[in-house]
């Protein structure tokens, strides 16, 4: 199974806007980049167990999604695990990818 991280169009727009306006702290962007590297190198199962990401399942309207903390006060990334299957001749290739749906300041 191949793991990769993709960004939904909405998440890309949000991240670009927050970076441009310098609203998201550099350490939060750095942590997101480390999380992406961890997922792509070791898989999402491993990344979910790393304490510094505070990975957890969401409830309510976000049921089926997960969240990681990008800092200890406000910022988070919301993602969903997806699997696609491709037929390549006689071989079935499953590609697991994580799609980041939103990057936002968490409202408590």
What are the structural domains, with CATH classification, of the chain?
2-105 (3.30.2310.20)
Residue 50's pLDDT band (boundaries 50, 70, 90)?
very high
Query: Which tokens go with 106?
Result: 């968490």
Residue 106's pLDDT band (boundaries 50, 70, 90)?
confident
- pTM equals 0.84
Question: For residues 98, 104, 107 and 108, what is the CA-based torsion angle, rounded to 10 degrees?
Answer: 50
| pLDDT of 92 | 58
Distances (CA, A) of 91 to 1, 81, 84, 87, 88: 13, 22, 14, 6, 5
For the segment 65-98, what is each residue's pLDDT rounded down to a tens digit?
A: 999 999 877 899 999 988 777 766 666 556 667 8
Share of the chain above pLDDT 90, in %: 51
Q: In the predicted model, what is the mean pLDDT of the chain?
A: 86
| pLDDT of 93 | 57
């Amino acid at each position: 199974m191949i793991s990769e991280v993709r960004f939904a169009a909405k998440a890309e727009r949000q991240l670009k806007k927050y970076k441009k306006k310098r609203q998201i702290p550099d350490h939060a962007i750095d942590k997101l980049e480390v999380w992406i590297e961890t997922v792509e190198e070791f898989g999402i199962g491993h990344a979910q167990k790393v304490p510094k990401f505070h990975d957890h399942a969401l409830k309510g309207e976000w049921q089926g999604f997960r969240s990681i903390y990008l800092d200890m006060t406000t910022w988070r990334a919301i993602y969903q695990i997806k699997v696609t299957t491709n037929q390549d001749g006689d071989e079935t290739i499953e590609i697991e990818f994580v799609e980041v749906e939103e990057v936002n300041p968490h409202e408590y």
